[in-house]
Amino acid sequence: MSVDPVRDHLEKTFGDAYRKEIEQEENVWRSLPFFAAALALQLAAIAQLREWVAAATGYGMLAALVLLGSAGIATLAALFFVLQSIAPARFRYVTPEPELIGYAAAVRKKASAKPGTTPEAADALALAAVRGLLVEQYALAAVHNRTINQLRATRRTRAGIATLVSILLLVGLLALSVVTTSSAHQRVLHGGGERHVLFLG
Amino acid sequence: MSSSSDDFREPGVARPAMVEVRKGWWKDEVSRVPTAPASASFDLSGSAFHGPVFNNAVFNDAVTLTQTIGTAPAKQAELTAALEAFRKLLAGLPATGRETANEAAETAGKLVEAVKPIKDEAFFRRQAAALRAVAGDIAASLPSVTAAAEAVIRAVGQIRGWM
């Protein structure tokens, strides 16, 4: 049997692409711990700032509420995108092995039934049939699954950006609390009295 | 013996279908989808299959649909399965082109209903010849989801015109 270099190349390339996309299927799930850790960090920060936010007044309170509200919206958006990225999807896979064996056997049987076909030729035809079918199925499944995986990755990226925005807002809130608290302490230390404390009750 | 691309297109031997698994949050659903014929879907020499269009699942399935219909051994069940697979794909489409694609799906659904009572082998042979031409039409008109979906509509309309 002569070698078909084109089909050999396609079989290897598409087979690799198919296997890569299968590995990518679980990729989004593997990033979920990052989002869980980020959420835990945010909740811990909010717990630490709870008393300061409750005690803040005036512009301090307004800034705190804006930052906190924006962080909450960003976190909700992140959770939404995470949910989107793991939404149910229809993946495609090559024919199960037993059916491929049956297909090869059927092709060989049909080829053998033709007058003048040698057993070697029938075997070669069966092999070519299975390989040709697999090349097509690898290609179809890789393209199909890649589309889903890319969509999932895009949604995960959105979730990541929303999480980062949320963290940055909370960092801003934390910075505000530190600045105002130290400012208030400074004023108390320099005899300014409590009436100069802007953000603490 | 040569192993050219024609060798493995052994006529009369049904090609096994691919497996489709809907991976849900709670459970998976397994179904089958037909394998597209190799002839045009992966003719990488054709410019129609390069760039983003090659990665466009809708486009590929539009070609798959028409070619499956066009080259299937005139079996009503295969036609129905091909259309059903296409409809399933449409359900998962991104917003782009969904409206046109839905229209294609709806028309395809009507086609299935219309084809069900037909047992005429000659009808399917005529259909195969025309749809092969339409598959080429899709490849030529290609450039977007909408173009692919519209080509399917044309293909379906062509069949309906014969009835």
The pLDDT of residue B96: 46
The Cα–Cα gap between A63 and A176 comes to 9
A190 interfaces chain B, CB cutoff of 8 Å:
no
A106 interfaces chain B, CB cutoff of 8 Å:
yes
Residue showing tokens 């936010």? A53
Compute the radius of gyration of chain B from its Cα atoms. 16
Tell me the residue length of chain B. Answer: 163
Do the Cβ atoms of B25 and A90 come within 8 Å?
Answer: no
Task: Tell which residue, B159, B157, B152, has the closest CA to residue B138.
Answer: B152
* Average pLDDT estimate for A68-96: 93
Tokens of B1: 């013996």
The Cα–Cα gap between B95 and A133 comes to 32
Higher confidence at residue A3 or residue B13? B13
Question: What type of residue is A22?
Answer: I
A161 interfaces chain B, CB cutoff of 8 Å:
no
Do the Cβ atoms of B13 and A129 come within 8 Å?
Answer: yes
Do the Cβ atoms of B57 and A144 come within 8 Å?
Answer: yes
Tokens of B163: 């009835």
Check if the beta carbon of residue B74 is closer than 8 Å to that of residue B124.
yes
**Alpha-helical segments (H) within chain A:** 5-25, 27-30, 32-55, 58-85, 97-113, 119-189
Q: Is the pTM of this model over 0.80?
A: no
The pLDDT of residue A147: 82
DSSP string, chain B: ----TTTT--TTSPPPPEEEEEE-SS-EEEEEEPPPPHHHHT-TTSGGGSHHHHT-HHHHHHHHHHHHHHHS-S-HHHHHHHHHHHHHHHHT--STTHHHHHHHHHHHHHHHHHHTT---HHHHHHHHHHHHHHHHHHHHH-SSHHHHHHHHHHHHHHHHHH-
Question: Tens of pLDDT along B83-130?
Answer: 555 555 555 554 444 555 555 555 555 555 555 555 555 555 555 555
Residue B15 reports pLDDT greater than 70: yes
* Residue B144: C-alpha distances to residues B8, B14, B131 (Å): 32, 32, 20
Distance from CA of A124 to the nearest CA of B (A): 7
Going by C-beta distance under 8 Å and a sequence separation of 6 or more, which residues neighbour residue A160? A31, A34, A35, A78
Task: Tell which residue, A157, A156, A165, A173, has the closest CA to residue A75.
Answer: A165
Return the DSSP state at A195: G
Check if the beta carbon of residue A131 is closer than 8 Å to that of residue B8.
yes
Distance from CA of A161 to the nearest CA of B (A): 21
Maximum average pLDDT range among B16-25, B71-80, B145-154: B16-25
Do the Cβ atoms of A151 and B94 come within 8 Å?
Answer: yes
Residue showing tokens 């009808």? B123
The pLDDT of residue A183: 72
Task: Sort out which chain A residues have CB atoms less than 8 A from B20's CB and list them.
Answer: 90-93
The Cα–Cα gap between B23 and B26 comes to 8
Q: How confident is the model at residue B40 (pLDDT cuts 50, 70, 90)?
A: very low
Do the Cβ atoms of A132 and B41 come within 8 Å?
Answer: no
Question: What type of residue is B93?
Answer: L
Question: What type of residue is B109?
Answer: G
Do the Cβ atoms of A137 and B18 come within 8 Å?
Answer: yes
Q: What percent of chain B has pLDDT over 70?
A: 14
Question: Tens of pLDDT along A123-178?
Answer: 888 888 888 888 888 888 888 888 888 889 999 999 999 999 999 999 999 999 88
Return the DSSP state at A114: S
Q: What is the ipTM of this complex?
A: 0.77
Task: Tell which residue, A83, A86, A66, A75, has the closest CA to residue A40.
Answer: A75
Q: Which chain B residues touch A if contact means CB-CB below 8 Å?
A: 1-5, 7-10, 12-25, 33, 35-38, 41-42, 54-57, 60, 64, 88-89, 92, 94
Q: How confident is the model at residue B2 (pLDDT cuts 50, 70, 90)?
A: very low
